Homo-oligomer: A and B are copies of this chain.
Amino acid sequence: MTVLFLMTPNITVPTMTREHEFNISVFYEDTDMAGIVYYANYLRFIERARSDIARELGLDQGKMLKDGRVFAVVRVEADYLGPARLADSLVIRTTHHKLTRVRWQFNQKMYKQKRLIFKALVTVVSMTTTGRPVPLPPEIQTLN
């Protein structure tokens, strides 16, 4: 062990390999007349997972807002690969990393059983409520 560390002195556990898991149940409200989850609602689902990550990191988004700070989504790339239907149990697996001093990026995949049905790359920016970018909170600065 010691030898290993000597040989790779600057090794760190990469944040990207830690995966956050979040469960979603599909309800009537989420579906549309085509019988499947309405496309915009996938963004609601993955935001729940991101909020859970923020909470786990010790961030209180309500308090942040009172302090005049928010995470604003600035970019979403989403691929819809399969339908989700009423009563489906979905799992969202998210990895995330600090992209720049103000940008936080999430790689989010949604599974129905073992099948990948949706994936998205979401970038948020730490900003004031007036839209001025500010450094990410320390809780995220310390990530990878």
Q: Which residues of A contact B (CB under 8 A)?
A: 25, 27-29, 31-36, 38-41, 43-44, 47-48, 51, 55, 60-62, 65, 70, 72-83, 85-87, 129, 131
Contacts and interface: CB of A to CB of B under 8 A. Distances in A.
DSSP majority for the A interface? mixed
Contacts of A65: 33-35
Q: How many copies does the complex hold?
A: 4
A44 B41 CA distance: 9
Contacts of A70: 34
Nearest to A74: B80
A61 B80 contact: no
Residue with the greatest number of chain B CB neighbours at <10 A, chosen from A38, A47, A75: A38
